Amino acid sequence: MSFKDNGRLARAPGADKFPAIGDYGVIGDCRSTALISKHGSIDWLCWPRFDSASIFAALLDRDRGGSWSISLADTYSVQRSYQPNTNILGTRFETRRGTTVLTDLMPVRENDALVPDHEIIRQVACTSGEAEIRIVLEPRANYGEAALKLEQRGKLGLRFCQGRGVYWLRSSLPLQIDGNSATSRHKMKAGEELFFSLSYTENAPAVLPDLDQVPHRISVCANWWKKWVAQMRYEGEFRDEVVRSALTLKLLTFVLSGAVVAAPTTSLPERIGDSLNWDYRYCWLRDASLTIRNMLELGHLDEATQFLDWMLHATRLTQPELRVLYTVFGNPVPRERESRVLRGYKNSAPVRIGNAARGQLQLDVYGEVIDAASQYAFHGGLLDREMQKTLVGLGNYVVKHWNQADEGIWEPRTGRRHHTHSRLMCWTALDRLVCLAEQGKVKGPDLDDYKRNREAIQQQILTRGWNDRIQSYVSVLDGDDLDASLLLLSWYGFEKADSPRMQSTHRAIRERLATGRELLYRYPSDPPEGAFAICSFWEAEFLALGGGNSEDCRHLIKGLFNYRNDLGLYGEEIDVKTGDALGNFPQAFTHIGLIGAALSLEQRMKGEQQLAHRAPGTPVLTEALSGGSRKL
Amino acid sequence: MNWTSWILSGFVATIVLSAALATSQGLGLTRMNLPYLIGAVITHNRDKARLYGFMAHMINGWAFSIIYVLIFEATRNTSWWFGLILGLVHALFVLSVGMMLLPTLHPRMASERHGPTSRRQLEPPGFMALNYGYQTPISVFLSHAAFGSILASLYHLH
């Protein structure tokens, strides 16, 4: 079998070959997601929520992981796209004999309807000629550890049980059970449509959807996404890209709590064949805070309100101390373990479940959370007494601990150091709280103490965070190394982007960390890992903030679009030789970067006050609130 | 019949029965969500179904306790083990006859013979409600045994 990838003839991966990471598309229902390859195979699915054990994990092991594929028997070419302004994925297969379109979605649950708790709908339509399709369902429980017993239940469909839940597959076609898998082959003719529904519930009785309703339900789901997109206020030149990034971030937002996961996958490698494989299916307060800032700017106030509410709840037991990451329900992340079964993407072992960063100290988190709250206030949200108390508690913690070494934003497992970025974020935390307090939005902080400490941090960054010899801010106080997070000094308002020091720092970062025209490493490493995608967007934003001219910024952003996949999705890193995505996929952090850069450029072009330079409470943009001020 | 005692003991026993069923679902013994199952008779709105179903189950449990009480009065026996036996018989009836009739009686329940339709979409319970988890009968027997024994222990004969 061979296929043409958007016009390019190539060998198709067999069932035993790994597709490229960027060959995956994602669908979801804001509770969980599924990754689908270009060949119509669902290779990653965890139900009922992002960090549940997998039922399909061929993404990490072709033999043992499990998958559900709907593919063509003939040679084919593939084109994929999302339906406009939705997360409904369309895969178009063309053969010499005809054209077939596969539509995949996880319907967003309509509250008042009798629909399954969790469901994937697949629709296959032969739009011209004829096609022979093959369906193979091979579920594997608990990260590939156990095969599942499939049961035929007559006209109800096919079912299998795992743990406390039951899966039902309803299908227009009868599937034959063969051991631990179910298969079918079918010749379709033009105009013929087939429907499939895979659902999961822990509540009996399960809802078994009527397949005749599938077209209507696809339409309802499409309208839900379109309605969500319609709330978006950004109308700039990169609207399509911003919309796709926002839709991806929305997919990664757990609707029942407001938490945002960093990525829906675990252990997709940062270096192929290496052990830099981490579980990202949790909520990092840093990433979530940045997501919320984007959502606010785009006009999605509900997500921000929900996240801040969740943050209050999740951190209640440890306040004023914040953990680095939480589960979507605000619980501690499980201890890291290695899968005994899954061999990893292209043998990039180990496959890790849980994350050891749970025990790290990352002081920048305080600044990210407080800045997100201040942006919320800026957009007209009211911080209630409990939220004010929490923020002041966080500020007091920063006052006591800002001088400590920590693991920092890149969370290396090599010990703690005095990171300039962490100091910057501690400065940001106190700066924003002083601002909020002076405007009467937060009551209770000891302003003199906050200002004194803010000044001390500032002096430390200006003296020990700056290296005269290399004429640049440096990654670690009194050090010589650079990392790309230094570009954020301007974003947080610490130093203007056009200042001589920031200009010089930018030059140094380009000299030491740039690879190719657009890409940046996050820090020097040997052997080098992939370029870190968000860092390039930070550079674009730095240019937009005055570090360069807007044309350079525009060119850089456009250049970075070359590294997304055909659906507009980014991974965490980019292979500098091939341009392929590396690391967990799709990655919230990168999409956050894209939106931020596009927004900053747009604001510069319009001469609007840029997000980075706004003080909380500035009386603009309150029209973003649909129903007056929100209270948290 | 001691009406006051029936009202109180029936209420307490039904609360315990509901709590036992919900707990066994939470513990993974069964997937069966009885309030949802009952409430879906009334409404297709799943959130309202749980609420309506809980209320209907409370009323149902209370009403059913009359039969227990009548048997207690007739036999003049309110020992806990007698109530427990009545509960087990009750559970057996629910699991065998009740679950067998459910696809016919429930307006939104599908059947294996006809498959789901736009109106009938709920998974049928199957023999002894085993479709809702193979430990479902254990959960139903235990909760009804508790119902019967508590009712017997709390009820005072007239």
Residues B68-79 have a mean pLDDT of 94
Beta-bridge partners for A82: A89
Going by C-alpha positions, the residue among B37, B59, B60 that lies closest to residue B109 is: B37
pLDDT band at A506 (very low <50, low <70, confident <90, very high): very high
Q: For residue A57, what pLDDT is reported?
A: 97
Residue B71, SS3 per DSSP: helix
pLDDT band at A612 (very low <50, low <70, confident <90, very high): low
Worst-scoring range by mean pLDDT, A192-201, A471-480, B98-107?
B98-107
Domain around B142: 3-98+132-154
| Chain B residues within 8 A of A166 when measuring between CB atoms | 31, 123, 131, 133
Q: What is the mean pLDDT of chain A?
A: 90
B41 lies in some domain? yes
Regarding an ipTM greater than 0.90, the answer is: no
Residues contacting residue A158 through CB under 8 Å, at least 6 positions apart: A137, A150, A151, A152, A168, A169, A171, A175, A177, A182
B105 lies in some domain? no
| Chain B residues within 8 A of A208 when measuring between CB atoms | 110, 116, 121-123
Cβ of residue B118 closer than 8 Å to a chain A Cβ? yes
DSSP state of A419: B
Count of Cβ atoms closer than 10 Å to residue B3 Cβ: 10
Option in B33, B45, B115 nearest A203 (CB): B33
Residues A419-441 have a mean pLDDT of 95
| pLDDT of A542 over the 60 cut | yes
Structural tokens at position A333: 């992340």
Cα separation, A371 vs A492, in Å, equals: 9
B103 lies in some domain? no
Option in A157, A161, A205 nearest B37 (CB): A205
| pLDDT of B105 over the 80 cut | yes
Q: For residue A621, what pLDDT is reported?
A: 34
| pLDDT of B158 over the 80 cut | no
Residues A89-111 have a mean pLDDT of 92
Q: Tell me what percent of the residues of chain A surpass a pLDDT of 90.
A: 76
Cα separation, A50 vs A61, in Å, equals: 19
| pLDDT of A622 over the 60 cut | no
Residues B34-56 have a mean pLDDT of 89
Query: So where are chain A's domains?
Result: 2-227, 231-624
A contact test, residue of B46, B95, B108, B132 with most A CBs within 10 A: B46
CA distance A283 to chain B (A): 25
Q: Which CATH number applies to A2-227?
A: 2.70.98.10
Using one digit for the tens of pLDDT, what is the confidence trace for A314-365? 888 888 999 999 999 888 999 999 999 999 999 999 999 999 989 899 999 9
| Chain A residues within 8 A of B25 when measuring between CB atoms | 203
Residue type, A411: E
Q: What is the tally of structural domains in chain B?
A: 1
Q: Between residues A10 and A307, which one has the greater pLDDT?
A: A307
B57 lies in some domain? yes
| pLDDT of A1 over the 80 cut | no
Q: Rounded to two decimals, what is the model's pTM?
A: 0.89
Highest mean pLDDT among A80-94, A289-303, A601-615: A80-94
Cα separation, A423 vs B49, in Å, equals: 53
| pLDDT of A568 over the 70 cut | yes
DSSP state of B97: I
Residues A264-271 have a mean pLDDT of 95
pLDDT band at A615 (very low <50, low <70, confident <90, very high): low
- A231-624: CATH topology is Glycosyltransferase (1.50.10)
Residues contacting residue A462 through CB under 8 Å, at least 6 positions apart: none
Is the CB of B121 less than 8 angstroms away from the CB of A208? Answer: yes
Option in A153, A155, A204 nearest B31 (CB): A204
Cβ of residue B37 closer than 8 Å to a chain A Cβ? yes
B92 lies in some domain? yes
pLDDT band at A613 (very low <50, low <70, confident <90, very high): low
Beta-bridge partners for A168: A159, A199
Q: For residue A195, what pLDDT is reported?
A: 97
